Amino acid sequence: MSDDTTRLFLGLIGVLVTASVIAGVLSWRSPKPLPSTLDNLNARIKAWWIMVAGISFAFLFGTRGVLLLFAFVSFASLREYVTLTKTRHADRWTLLGMFLIIVPTQYYLIWIDWYGLYSIFIPVYCFLAMPAITAMRGDTSRFLERVSEQQWGVMLSVYCLSHVPALVTLPIPGNEGRGLLLIAFLIATVQGSDVLQYIFGKLFGRHKVAPSISPSKTWEGLIGGIASASLMGAGLFWLTPFSPLEAGFLAALSCVMGFFGGLVASAIKRDRGVKDWGHMIEGHGGMLDRADSLVFAAPVFFHIVRYAWT
């Protein structure tokens, strides 16, 4: 593991320890039972520890570890997503195919670095095969709705998310062997932006961005969070092949995409009448609650870097 990787993880652990200590002191001094804001903060910090531990563990095993980690993230996200859709008995073969064939195939194609296929496998072949299989079963009730829901599920949970580990395969001149750090850069800025938006929103939030979708997303949180996360991204330029200015620009773009990812995820949840996607981390939300911003940021980040740097 390179010095930069070690430096990054020591820095992350430092941030988490600081956050845990602050939250611990606040919780200790606050009246019991804890107000919901503090409860939520503690839950988020705990989720963060688990995430950092999981990602660090995967990094120990290199590209293979990160691919397996994200294949699992895709599996868990897809499971949460499908649970909220209205499936019918005739969808079983399509659903089984989504979990048993699409997820492993997509990640295998990234593993063997077959860009020409992994970038179209889902939007061309799967998108045509899935409605065909569903139609073969003969149940036409709400057909269009069911097919679109399934297609969007694999698009979000598998296709988009798989672009995070796919960053390793980008042949950026001068960046050989440092692909994992590019992944770390993307995850750190996007997830950092989530946290910073939350903090800025709690401190200064007044004007809601989309009151009918999410009461917690405010313009103050959005602007403050994205601006500070972009600065943080610029400061992390040493992880990447980019200059500080380029790193800041890419971070800003990823954070804006991440914001839209969170907004769309909230709209879906609101439509289905649930607060969280699932209960992966101790009843404090599911995998997609943490991954929704990466879903939107990863493919855009991937393609811009691929276009401009390779």
Partner 1 sequence: MSGSASLLQIVSGSVLAVLARAVTGVRPIWAGSAPNGGQRIYFANHASHGDFILLATCLTPSERSRTAAVAGADYWSSGHVRRFISRRLLRTVLVERNWVERTADPMQVMLDALDAGESLIFFPEGTRNMTEEPLLRFRSGLYNLAVARPGVELVPCWIENMSRVLPKGALLPVPLLCRTVFGAPVTLKEGEDRKEFLERARQALLSLAPRKDGNNG
Q: Which burial class, exposed, middle or buried, applies to 179 when counting CB atoms under 10 A from its CB (0-12, 13-18, 19+)?
A: buried
Contacting range for partner 1; rule: CB under 8 A; set: 10-18, 234-242, 270-278, 298-306: 270-278
Nearer to partner 1, 75 or 309 (CB): 75
Position 303 contacts partner 1 (CB under 8 A): no
Among 138, 174, 177, 283, binds partner 1 (CB under 8 A): 283
Residue 201 and residue 189: Cα distance in Å, rounded?
17
Q: Cβ of residue 241: shortest distance to partner 1, in angstroms? A: 38
Among 67, 69, 82, 229, binds partner 1 (CB under 8 A): 82
Nearer to partner 1, 51 or 170 (CB): 51
Position 20 contacts partner 1 (CB under 8 A): no
Q: Which burial class, exposed, middle or buried, applies to 47 when counting CB atoms under 10 A from its CB (0-12, 13-18, 19+)?
A: middle
Contacting range for partner 1; rule: CB under 8 A; set: 37-45, 79-87, 183-191, 232-240: 79-87
Among 8, 12, 95, 109, binds partner 1 (CB under 8 A): 95
Residues in contact with partner 1, counted by CB under 8 A, come to a total of 26
The answer to whether residues 27 and 43 touch, using CB atoms and an 8 Å cutoff, is no
Nearer to partner 1, 173 or 283 (CB): 283
Query: Residue 85, Cα to own-chain centre: how many angstroms?
Result: 20
Position 275 contacts partner 1 (CB under 8 A): no
Contacting range for partner 1; rule: CB under 8 A; set: 24-32, 179-187, 262-270, 274-282: 274-282
Nearer to partner 1, 221 or 286 (CB): 286
Position 280 contacts partner 1 (CB under 8 A): yes
Position 88 contacts partner 1 (CB under 8 A): yes
Among 48, 59, 75, 198, binds partner 1 (CB under 8 A): 75
Nearer to partner 1, 94 or 240 (CB): 94
Nearer to partner 1, 19 or 51 (CB): 51
The answer to whether residues 254 and 189 touch, using CB atoms and an 8 Å cutoff, is yes
Position 149 contacts partner 1 (CB under 8 A): no
Q: Cβ of residue 91: shortest distance to partner 1, in angstroms? A: 9
Q: Which burial class, exposed, middle or buried, applies to 116 when counting CB atoms under 10 A from its CB (0-12, 13-18, 19+)?
A: exposed
Other Cβ atoms closer than 10 A to 19: 17
Position 86 contacts partner 1 (CB under 8 A): yes
**Residues in touch with partner 1 (CB under 8 A):** 75-76, 78-80, 82-89, 92, 95-96, 99-100, 272-274, 278-280, 283, 286
